[in-house]
Structure 1
Amino acid sequence: MGFSVLIPAYNPTEQLVDLTQELSQTNVDAIVIVNDGSTDDTHAAIFANVRNLPKVTLIEYAQNRGKGAALKVGLAHIQKHVKTSGVVTADADGQHITKDVLAIGEAIPQNPNALLLGSREVDEMPTKSYLGNSITRFVFRVFFGLNISDTQTGLRGFATDLIDLLLTIPYDRYEFESEMLMVCNRNGVAMVEHRIETIYIENNAASSFNPWVDSTRIYFVLFRYVFASLAAAIVDYIVFFIVLPLNENTLFSIFIARAVSLLVNYFLLRTRVFFATGTVRQTFPRYVALVIVSGFIASGLIDLLANSISMNIGLAKVLVESTLFVLNFLVNRSYIFINRRK
């Protein structure tokens, strides 16, 4: 068995027909195209042209569900119906050419436990793609320890053994591909980059990627950490005002509120942000130690800034706690909620 090609397509152009025709004449096992609710007769004609090509299976549904949903539908189909040992995902907008698709697929047997990434030259990208990729690359390197040159590439290859893991990703739009990197990273799946041609037809006009909406979705991985902290703060506030009337002891009410919010934050970080595989017994003591240490550091630094250089105490608090917020994220990611694929 060789490998199969999976192409999610939403309002594609003739480039999809060209790529599919070329791939159908190669030794790939199968070509699965998922029509992600394309909207008019022009695109219907394009899908009609690819439907009857050799090795092609066309999966269609009426409502647009997002690139991630289309990829998961295609992966589930390949897992159930196609005899193949690997999968290469490619885009339908002309960015990926046959020789690069084949090169990624042929590299799968040499990297059976890795996620292969077809990486483009970032400096050759159009401005919006260059900026988006550069910012995302920075975020992934600093916050998640991933040093990948092209985080937004849609040309990826992997052995079919990885499909079960990828189908657990709960997101349906462009954030699926970023989450794929995160899931592979925290499960010990290596990421191997292969240089491919950088192609943008008419400044990537055929792409359905929205640089504002979809970039926000991509960064949702990081936003989960912020949301977990906000949720804990809200719980702290609510519990305080529930407990205070019951005992009329401010210090005791603060202690109970902080204890409950700490548990809420820990639960969210462990199960919704970092998806930790370590036990509570392993992670909770480290988490509590970090909370205590960061609290002492915050108190000391705020006093230092306020007393030594006469900084406004409100400004000092914002500066110190914002810095510690980022540092705590890095410590939580790298030392407390550590994940490895079993």
Structure 2
Amino acid sequence: MWVLIPAYEPDERLIDLVRDLAPTAPVLLVDDGSGPSYGEVFTVAEGFGATVLRHRVNRGKAAALRTGLAWIRDHSAKVDVVCADADGQHRPADIMRVAAELTRRRREHEPPAVVMGARAFDGEVPWRSRLGNRATSALVAAASGAALADTQTGLRAYPAELIPWALGVRGERFSYELRLLLEAARAGIPLVEVPIATVYLDDNRSSHFRPVRDSALVLWPLAAFAASSLAAFALDTAVLLAASALGLGLGAALVTARASSALLNFALNRRAVFRADGPPLPQLARYLALALAVLGAGYASLWLLTWAGLPLLVAKVITDGALWFASFGLQRSFVFRRSARDAPTAAHAPHRRGPAGPRRAAVRSR
């Protein structure tokens, strides 16, 4: 097993980390264009046994991780990799704890998983870190179904089987790590969290994470789903008006419009939003069943809310908003779900451990 540490303008904390890790596991550092001023830090780290790769200019954390993962893949046959940060937030004991969970899963023949060190965010945590993690955790859960305690952790372990997959995930800088979570959930790859210490130094000033920019990408599935819904609404309206103009009765025009918009919505959601594979007819059948269920739930909700005294407009806004989010989750987990044949790694139940041990995120396949 290798420990991979991308580093940009590090200080002596990186040297301390390498010195503590080197007797236990080989360490690979990627100098992401830190410049000559930081050359001594990497030279001292090499003296403690680390291997150093260098980018001539700063290319971002994603590029540094890919450089390291590709080098390990090419130079060491079938080894696992633990990625850690260079700023002192990951203690050697926690890095080894994450590595041990990956080893345990392999020993017990559990499916390959991304193992992450999850912080509890207790004690004195900078407000932007606490707020940013809670926001991105909620968005990741809404977009992918993965209920994670810590979406921003840089302490992650990848088994050798998943390194080619990780190298193929798109994304730059810190957005790459968020995209890895979304793509893992989509592919049915288990996400396992191991509790680690929450360490912040100097109010986390060394972090290069930008919460707004780097977290925005998790909204993409929801935004695509919304765009698909709007496109279906536009087609529904256009067909209804055109059919009425051609002389069809209201009932026939409405059925034609709804059928056309439903087919468009199904096609867009299947290919552009959830990127589903497999035969489309079973998915279409589930889609139609869900549409009928949503229709019934909408009627029941409107009746109940108006009976409780809410105005019809308010009741409709509440109902449609709740059903929209519910429809997104149900289409992801029911209509366009990944079968066991398509995602064999997700077909096995995870090993259960006590409350203090690692837990598998609640990941529903698409």
The TM-score bracket by the shorter chain reads: 0.7 to 0.9
Instruction: For 2:309 and 2:48, locate their aligned partners in 1 and report how far apart those are by CA, in whole Å.
Output: 74
- Quote the Cα distance in structure 2 between the aligned partners of 1:189 and 1:238: 36
- 1:4 corresponding residue in structure 2: 2
Evaluate the alpha carbon distance shift between residue 142 and residue 227 of structure 1 in structure 2; reply closer, same or farther with a 3 A threshold.
Answer: closer
Query: What CA deviation, in whole Å up to 9, does each residue of 1:161-184 have, x standing for no partner?
Result: 011222332222333323323333
Residues of 2 paired with 1:285 and 1:5: CA distance?
47
Whichever residue aligns with residue 164 of structure 1, its letter is P
Which residue of structure 2 lines up, in the alignment, with residue 151 of structure 1?
Answer: 151
Over residues 277-330 of structure 1, what are the superposed CA-to-partner deviations in whole Å (9 max), with x where a residue is unaligned? Answer: 443123221112212331343345446645x45644433322110010111122
Against the structure 1 CA distance between its residues 321 and 14, is the aligned structure 2 distance closer, same or farther, given a 3 Å change threshold?
Answer: same
Contact 1:236 1:257 in 2 (8 A): no
> Is the counterpart of residue 28 in structure 1 residue 22 in structure 2?
no
Instruction: Tell me, yes or no, if structure 1 residue 176 matches structure 2 residue 171.
Output: no
Q: Provide the C-alpha distance between the structure 2 equivalents of 1:53 and 1:260, rounded to a whole number of angstroms.
A: 66
Q: Deviations over 1:260-286 (max 9, x none)?
A: 543443334333443434431232211
Equivalence map 1:34-53=2 (5 Å): 35=32, 37-38=33-34, 41-43=36-38, 46-47=41-42, 50=45
Residue in 2 aligned with 1:73?
A: 67
Q: CA 1:323 to 1:208, structure 2 compared with 1: closer, same or farther past 3 Å?
A: same
Cα distance, 1:274–1:242 mapped onto 2, change above 3 Å: closer
Residue 99 (1) aligns with residue 93 (2): yes
Q: How many residues align?
A: 332
SS at match of 1:194: strand
Give the residue type in structure 1 aligned to 2:85. Answer: D
1:15 maps to which residue? 13
Question: Contact conserved, 2:7 with 2:29, CA < 8 A, in 1?
Answer: no
- Structure 2 matches for 1:1-342, cutoff 5 A? 3-23=1-21, 25-33=22-30, 35=32, 37-38=33-34, 41-43=36-38, 46-47=41-42, 50=45, 54-62=49-57, 64=59, 66-112=60-106, 113-124=112-123, 125-140=125-140, 144-217=144-217, 219-220=218-219, 223-234=220-231, 236-237=233-234, 240-241=237-238, 248-249=245-246, 258-299=258-299, 301-302=301-302, 305=305, 308=307, 311-339=310-338, 340=340, 341-342=343-344
Retained in 1: the 8 A contact 2:233–2:261? yes
In structure 1, what is the Cα distance between the partners aligned to 2:271 and 2:47? Answer: 45
Task: Provide TM-score, normalisation by structure 2.
Answer: 0.76
Shift of 1:236: 4.1
- The Cα shift of 1:6 comes to 1.7
Cα deviation code 1:195-217 (max 9, x no counterpart)? 32221110110000123222323
Quick check: 205-214 or 135-144, which moved more? 135-144
Separation of aligned partners in 2, 1:216 and 1:197:
27
Conserved 8 A contact 2:132-2:211: yes
Is 2:143–2:222's contact at 8 Å kept on the other side of the alignment? no
Cα gap change, 1:290 to 1:58, in 2 (>3 Å): same
d(CA) in 2 for partners of 1:10 and 1:208? 9
TM-score, normalised by the number of residues in structure 1: 0.81
Provide the rounded CA distance (Å) in 1 between the counterparts of 2:256 and 2:41.
62
CA positional deviation for 1:17: 3.4
The one-letter amino acid paired with 1:333 is: R
Identify if the C-alpha distance between structure 1 residues 6 and 263 changes in structure 2 by more than 3 Å, giving closer, same or farther. Answer: farther
Compare relative contact order (CA 8 Å, sep 6+) and give the higher one, 1 or 2.
2
Relative to structure 1, the CA distance from residue 272 to residue 73 in structure 2 (aligned partners, 3 Å threshold; closer, same or farther) is: farther
Identity across matched positions, percent: 30
Q: Deviations over 1:48-79 (max 9, x none)?
A: 65567634131415353x43343233323322
1:196 and 1:78 mapped to 2: Cα distance? 25
3-state SS, counterpart of residue 199 of structure 1: coil
Note if contact 1:224-1:272 (Cα within 8 Å) is conserved in structure 2: no
Q: Distance in 2 between matches of 1:265 and 1:68?
A: 34
